[in-house]
Amino acid sequence: MTPPAEAKNVWERYGWLMAVVWMVFLIYPLIALVRSEAALGWIVVGWVALVAFAVLYVVGFIRGLRAGGGIGATPARGQWVIFAVLIFCAIACAPAAGASSLSFLPFIMSFASYGLTRLAHWITTITAVAVAAVCVLLIPGGFAYSGVLAIVVLLGVVNTVSTWLIIRSAEAEALGLELATSEGREAVARDVHDLIGHSLTVVQLKAQLARRLIDADPERAKAELADIEALTAEAIAGVRATVSGVRATTLVEQVAAAHDALRAAGVTLRVVGETSALSPAQALTASWILREAVTNVLRHAKATAATITIEPGMLVIEDDGRGADGRGMDGYTGRGSGVAGMRERAAAAGAGFVITPGRDAGTRVELTW
């Protein structure tokens, strides 16, 4: 369920309160202006600068939120101008407010750290610390503002660490998204390979059989052509379902499909055990492994018989083909993506996957939990 627009924009609507709350720290230059003994003109300039600073800071904060700028992003348009005016207002207030104008530094530092660039953060932080230190050490009575220096230094450290963590978090999130996308593409590629590879192999065998039977047994040839039509329709639907992420093949269906495919190739299939011996999660992985294993038997083994053994926590596919010595295991040597897909599926399901020569001849594929 999509959240309402109001819920999604809560931060944009009320985030400005954070900026307003921090305005309380402008109480120090405000008090300084009330008590100021500077010329009237400078006092007026100080009040105008103070009010302008407060308004611009809140406006800049809100614009940064709503424009999507900030840490790790390009600053919103006009933010640099606001930043420059904030600095100008702080300087303009100094003749009337004196050293109390140092209270503007934390606002300027935070604006640069969270609303501008990383370079602006470093330049502003170093400059603010230097200005505060000079005022405390060189201005008469400046030691009274040592607390402000401590706040500026502490804020510089906090801003540096927090912005670094935020940037790293954003980078990690982007990397995670990239990895998830890559894994998703690999999964789709693996599913499409398994579906297309198996289906096209069976279609090829049935087409060859239909060609041989078209004169001798037209009715049988028509039946094989009907099977080809059904297989191609199934493959197309399977690819579409895989791309949309909803493809699911049951082990019962896959055993039946293996029987039909091997029969069309003249391979006798014997099934030992029941598909119910495996849990639904195990059966899902087993169905994909079985599909690819049968495809490799059809393509490479030159077998006459095959056996599928299903036991609790185990699936075994054996054939009596050429095996490794006769290059019948080419489909299992890892030169294609079939064996890689089987290993990946087994690993993802927490299962063991082994390919070995058969007990007498051929190849044995074993999946165990």
Residue type, 85: V
**Confidence band (pLDDT; 50, 70, 90) for 50?**
very high
Q: CA-to-CA distance for 194 and 263, rounded, in angstroms?
A: 20
The answer to whether 318 and 305 are in contact (CB under 8 A) is no
Cβ burial of 223 (10 Å; 0-12, 13-18, 19+) is middle
Residue 331 has pLDDT above 50, yes or no: no
* Average pLDDT of span 185-200: 62
pLDDT of residue 300: 76
Q: Greater confidence, 280 or 166?
A: 280
pLDDT of residue 334: 44
Neighbour-count burial for 114-123, b at 16+ CB within 10 Å, e otherwise: bbbbeebbee
Rounded to 5°, angle at Cα 97 from 106 and 111: 20
- Segment among 80-84, 194-198, 327-331, 345-349 with least mean pLDDT: 327-331
* Average pLDDT of span 171-182: 64
Place of tokens 């006769």: 326
* Rg value, the chain, Cα: 37
Q: Which residues, 6+ apart, have CB-to-CB distance to 64 below 8 Å?
A: 70, 75, 76, 79, 114, 115
Residue type, 53: F
Count CB atoms within 10 A of the CB of residue 33: 22
Q: CA-to-CA distance for 206 and 330, rounded, in angstroms?
A: 22
**Confidence band (pLDDT; 50, 70, 90) for 109?**
confident
Residue 44 has pLDDT above 90, yes or no: yes
Q: What residues form DSSP beta bridges with 307?
A: 270, 318
Longest dimension (CA), the chain: 117
The answer to whether 310 and 274 are in contact (CB under 8 A) is yes
pLDDT in tens, 211-266: 778 877 888 877 878 777 777 766 666 665 555 444 456 788 888 888 888 887 88
Residue type, 106: P
Q: CA-to-CA distance for 210 and 202, rounded, in angstroms?
A: 12
pLDDT in tens, 56-96: 888 887 777 666 555 666 777 788 898 999 999 999 998 98
Q: How many CA atoms are closer than 13 Å to the CA of 42, on its beta-carbon side? A: 16
* Average pLDDT of span 157-186: 70
CATH 3.30.565.10 fits 248-369, yes or no: yes
pLDDT of residue 329: 47
Q: How many CA atoms are closer than 13 Å to the CA of 130, on its beta-carbon side? A: 6
Q: Which residues, 6+ apart, have CB-to-CB distance to 174 below 8 Å?
A: none
pLDDT of residue 5: 44
Average pLDDT value over all residues in the chain: 77
Residue 102 has pLDDT above 70, yes or no: yes
pLDDT in tens, 262-317: 887 888 899 999 988 888 878 888 888 888 888 888 877 788 889 999 999 899 99
The answer to whether 357 and 363 are in contact (CB under 8 A) is yes
The answer to whether 353 and 347 are in contact (CB under 8 A) is yes
- Segment among 32-36, 114-118, 138-142, 274-278 with least mean pLDDT: 138-142
Q: Greater confidence, 320 or 172?
A: 320
- Cα 19 from chain centre: 32
Write down the pTM of the prediction: 0.48
Length of the chain: 369
The answer to whether 194 and 242 are in contact (CB under 8 A) is no
Residue 114 has pLDDT above 90, yes or no: no
pLDDT of residue 301: 77
Q: Which residues, 6+ apart, have CB-to-CB distance to 301 below 8 Å?
A: 319, 321, 322, 323, 328, 362, 363
* Average pLDDT of span 341-361: 82
The answer to whether 201 and 298 are in contact (CB under 8 A) is yes
* Average pLDDT of span 117-121: 85
* Average pLDDT of span 131-153: 80
Domain ranges of the chain: 5-175, 248-369
